């Protein structure tokens, strides 16, 4: 290239309404319009109404009155709020320590099975098919604290005394985590099994040639290949466990001694177990606080783990 030559640069055409129309923008908008309307009516409208309700004193029966930040102050003054926060954090921590690695371990073991893999996959997913209320009632029967209870009978076979399970403040929350892990692990196991099929077999062959044991292959091949999906399922589990409601509501109704009351159960109590019609202002205020916390947590989490998931 001589000094007189200049590289040819393409000036991008400025997008105008006419070019948008000729490029099919109106057609795309027409196809998207029903979805946008449905999404706006059924998703954004309730969110906006909840924000408005959070600064009002209302029970949906009498006329609403504007109270500003009083609902949020009322929530923070409630001693049960901090109990619910602590219990919710405790549930999320137990579910993270015990419930998060279990589906991965089961999926890795199932991926090594050569025969009847479909049968094992169906058995792993079966708890997800069971209706949640039915599963809780079934486990509530298993958690009978008498020596003749199902779990206590099994423990008696190995010489372990009967346990109080959900009747004790110390063991109630771990018992709830055990049932929730059993009920929800199946879906995650299937996700991990699908992800494991994308791991190149050549990587395992190369590791085997190098003399790697099964644990080294899992640590140096399987886990790095599943890094992205592991990070996604981690944040999904954190979000899901901080919104736990069904188990404490049906098992213990927050007891014994408020040891299992959670944030969502406290929202339910504000809305449906207080005065006439409930205190929906306080309930929506606490809901917004939880939503903001989860949004900030998710934003920080994805910013921190962005480089890890891309590498």
How would DSSP label each residue in 101-119? HHHHHHHHHHHT--SSHHH
This prediction has a pTM of 0.84
Could you tell me if residue 263 is left (phi over 0), alpha (psi between -120 and 50 degrees) or otherwise beta? alpha
Residue ranges per structural domain of the chain: 17-53, 70-310
How many angstroms from the chain centroid is the CA of residue 178? 16
The per-residue pLDDT string of the chain (311 residues; one tens digit each, 9 = 90 and over) reads 455 555 555 555 666 776 766 666 778 888 888 888 998 888 888 889 889 999 988 877 778 888 889 999 999 999 999 999 999 999 999 999 988 889 988 888 888 777 877 888 888 888 889 999 999 999 999 999 888 889 999 999 998 999 999 999 999 999 999 999 999 888 898 888 888 888 877 877 787 777 777 788 778 888 888 888 888 889 999 999 999 999 999 999 888 889 999 999 999 998 887 655 678 889 999 999 999 999 999 999 888 887 765 65
Tell me how far apart the alpha carbons of residues 193 and 198 are, in angstroms, rounded to a whole number. 9
Q: Which helix (H) or strand (E) holds 57?
A: strand 56-57
Closest CA to 189 of 300, 110, 92: 110
Question: CATH fold of 70-310, please?
Answer: MetI-like fold (1.10.3720)
Q: Please, are residues 152 and 167 in contact by the beta-carbon 8 Å criterion?
A: no
Residue 259 in tokens: 């040891």
Q: How many helices (H) and strands (E) does the chain have?
A: 17, 2
For 212: left if phi > 0, alpha if psi spans -120 to 50, otherwise beta; the answer is beta
């Amino acid at each position: 290239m001589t000094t007189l030559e200049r590289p040819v640069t393409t000036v991008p055409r400025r997008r105008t309404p006419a070019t948008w129309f000729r490029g099919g923008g109106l057609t795309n908008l027409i196809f998207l319009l029903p979805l946008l309307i449905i999404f706006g009516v059924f998703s954004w409208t309730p969110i906006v109404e909840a924000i408005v309700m959070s600064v009002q004193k209302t029970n949906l029966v009498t006329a609403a009155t504007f109270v500003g930040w009083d609902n949020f102050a009322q929530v923070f003054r409630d001693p049960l709020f901090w109990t619910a926060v602590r219990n919710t954090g405790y549930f999320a921590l137990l579910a993270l320590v015990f419930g998060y690695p279990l589906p991965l371990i089961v999926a890795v073991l199932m991926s090594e099975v050569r025969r009847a893999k479909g049968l094992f996959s169906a058995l792993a997913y079966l708890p997800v098919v069971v209706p949640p209320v039915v599963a809780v009632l079934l486990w509530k029967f298993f958690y009978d604290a008498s020596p003749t209870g199902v779990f206590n009978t099994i423990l008696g076979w190995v010489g372990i005394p009967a346990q109080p399970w959900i009747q004790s403040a110390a063991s109630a929350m771990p018992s709830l985590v055990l049932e929730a892990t059993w009920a929800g692990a199946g879906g995650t196991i299937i996700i991990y099994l699908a992800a494991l099929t994308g791991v190149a077999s050549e990587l395992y062959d190369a590791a085997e040639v190098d003399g790697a044991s099964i644990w080294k292959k899992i640590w140096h091949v399987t886990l790095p290949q599943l890094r992205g999906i592991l990070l996604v399922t981690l944040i999904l589990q954190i979000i899901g466990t901080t919104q736990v409601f069904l188990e404490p509501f049906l098992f213990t109704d927050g007891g014994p001694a408020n040891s299992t009351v959670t944030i969502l159960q406290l929202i339910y109590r504000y809305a449906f177990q207080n005065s006439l019609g409930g205190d929906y202002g306080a309930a929506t205020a606490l809901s917004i606080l939880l939503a903001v916390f989860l949004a900030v947590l998710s934003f920080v989490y994805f910013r921190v783990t962005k480089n890890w998931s891309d590498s």
